[in-house]
Amino acid sequence: MATYVKRAFKYRFCPTDAQAAELSRTFGCVRKVYNLALAARTQAWTRQERVNYNQTSAMLTVWKKTGELAYLNEVSSVPLQQALRHLQVAFTNFFGKRAKYPRFKSRKKSRKSAEYTTSAFRFRDGRLTLAKMREPLDIVWTRPLPEGVSPSTVTVSQDPAGRWFVSMLCDDPSVQPLPATDTAVGIDVGLNHLLTLSTGEKITNPRHERRDRAALARAQRRLSKKARGDGANRAKARRKVAKIHARIADRRRDTLHKLTTRLVRENQTLVIEDLSIRNMVRNRSLARAVSDAAWADFRSLLEYKAQWYGREVIAVDRWFPSSKLCSACGALRERMPLNVRAWTCDCGTTHDRDVNAAKNLLAAGLAVTACGAGARPQRSTPGGQSATKQETPRREP
């Protein structure tokens, strides 16, 4: 039996008042169950006891029978069970040292979402109906689902801007490896230019946040003037700020998707630098620009699309001196301040700093494919640990 790529198709929808009320109740119950289970597992861990998903599922049954939590019976049980499974995954990642300890979900700050499996929704003739609802969702079908495919899970969410989304996870038979080519490209990320390729092409940084910075500042000033207990007025001002942030994020995501799709389709091997974005945003002078460039998102999109289409992404060690190394003769300069954008090597070659770095990254990446030295793995091994480091797992509660 053929195996296909699991792909999520996300759409906006407009709920009726009854559907919005039902989904809001579901979001609240999902958050409550997650927090109760997290508290139970944390208390058990302090007593050196082990609590797993099956035990929290039994706890959920008991909670529903209490008078205080009887309202949990008013929503579909499937999203509540899925919340317990998500908590189990969070603990698995924590004890595998891939994430921090799970945190409680906040009513104001946490993402509002609920996940439904096949037993809790009906999808027929392009109409999706969730459990506890009589009418199908009014979905804006911006693109069709793959022909003959039905979703295996459905996730409904609401973002801070008040927009409603439904994400359908499906097997996508259209995602197949592309024909192999012999093209390879080195990619150097930057701020003046979002990407510089080893071919010499430079892609301008759109600076999406800067375009809306004035409007965002005005909206944030208005929000700061609203009293904490100002009810509807404060909520309206907060939503205005969220809408501007959403507009910036949508434009940024659209740009990155178009860039990464193009690069993956055109090249068999893509070489990038293994940057520590988390440390770079600690620089107060560059944090806003680095965050707006979204280098981490670019790498994430590039890696999963390369995996889809049979391409290879190589991440060169972050300490590799790509900017200080002459791509023509291999001479290494001692210093290369950031304000130096072009320089001439002793061999007589004049380099553009970013193009030279991209050429050196490409050469280092191709050397890795040949002899396997000088670069780090793309992200992690299937088990979640670095391929160059083995760690002792912690005992799971």
CATH code: domain of residue 190: 3.30.420
Bridge pairing between strands 193-197 and 153-158:
unpaired
Catalytic-role residue among 188, 209, 292, 303: 188
Same-domain check for residues 188 and 296: yes
Q: In which residue are the tokens 């944090």 written?
A: 287
Same-domain check for residues 152 and 268: no
Asked if residue 93 belongs to a domain, the reply is yes
Task: Please confirm, yes or no, whether 354 is among the known catalytic residues.
Answer: yes
Region 344-368: mean pLDDT is 90
- The mean-pLDDT minimum among 141-155, 271-285, 369-383 falls in 369-383
Dist CA 12 CA 161 (whole Å): 13
Asked if residue 390 belongs to a domain, the reply is no
Dist CA 364 CA 168 (whole Å): 40
Task: Please confirm, yes or no, whether 135 is among the known catalytic residues.
Answer: no
pTM of the model: 0.85
Asked if residue 151 belongs to a domain, the reply is yes
Catalytic-role residue among 22, 115, 292, 354: 354
Same-domain check for residues 278 and 258: yes
Catalytic-role residue among 22, 273, 292, 303: 273
Asked if residue 279 belongs to a domain, the reply is yes
Dist CA 73 CA 29 (whole Å): 9
Residue 322: is its pLDDT beyond 80? yes
Task: Give the whole-number percent of the chain exceeding pLDDT 90.
Answer: 71
Out of 151, 172, 193, pick the residue that ends a domain: 172
Residue 381: is its pLDDT beyond 60? no
Asked if residue 192 belongs to a domain, the reply is yes
pLDDT band at 388 (very low <50, low <70, confident <90, very high): very low
User: What single string gives the DSSP state of each residue in 271-293?
Assistant: EEE---HHHHTT-TTTHHHHHHH
Region 45-54: mean pLDDT is 90
Q: Residue 148's domain spans which residues?
A: 5-172
pLDDT at position 331 is 87
Residue 304: is its pLDDT beyond 80? yes
Task: Please confirm, yes or no, whether 297 is among the known catalytic residues.
Answer: no
- The mean-pLDDT minimum among 198-202, 255-259, 332-336 falls in 332-336
Tokens of 157: 């969410």
- The mean-pLDDT minimum among 80-89, 224-233, 262-271 falls in 224-233
Residue 383: is its pLDDT beyond 90? no
Q: What is the chain's mean pLDDT, rounded?
A: 89
Asked if residue 128 belongs to a domain, the reply is yes
Residue 200: is its pLDDT beyond 60? yes
Tokens of 273: 């630098």
Residue 288: is its pLDDT beyond 50? yes
Q: Which helix (H) or strand (E) holds 113?
A: strand 112-117
Buried b / exposed e along 166-191 (16+ C-beta atoms within 10 A): bbbbbbbeeeeeeeeeeebbbbbbbe
pLDDT at position 89 is 97
Residue 233: is its pLDDT beyond 50? yes
Same-domain check for residues 61 and 151: yes
Dist CA 235 CA 217 (whole Å): 17
Phi, psi for residue 91 in degrees, rounded to 5: -70, -40
Q: Say which residues have a Cβ less than 8 Å from residue 366's Cβ, sequence separation at least 6.
A: 184, 269, 271
Same-domain check for residues 315 and 276: yes
Same-domain check for residues 147 and 30: yes
Residue 268: is its pLDDT beyond 60? yes
pLDDT at position 373 is 52
Same-domain check for residues 166 and 263: no
pLDDT at position 2 is 61
Backbone conformation region of residue 143, classed left if phi is above 0, alpha if psi is from -120 to 50, else beta? beta
Residue 390: is its pLDDT beyond 50? no
Residue 209: is its pLDDT beyond 70? yes
Asked if residue 9 belongs to a domain, the reply is yes
Same-domain check for residues 134 and 275: no
Same-domain check for residues 111 and 194: no
Number of domains in the chain: 2
pLDDT band at 334 (very low <50, low <70, confident <90, very high): confident
Asked if residue 61 belongs to a domain, the reply is yes
Residue 138: is its pLDDT beyond 90? yes
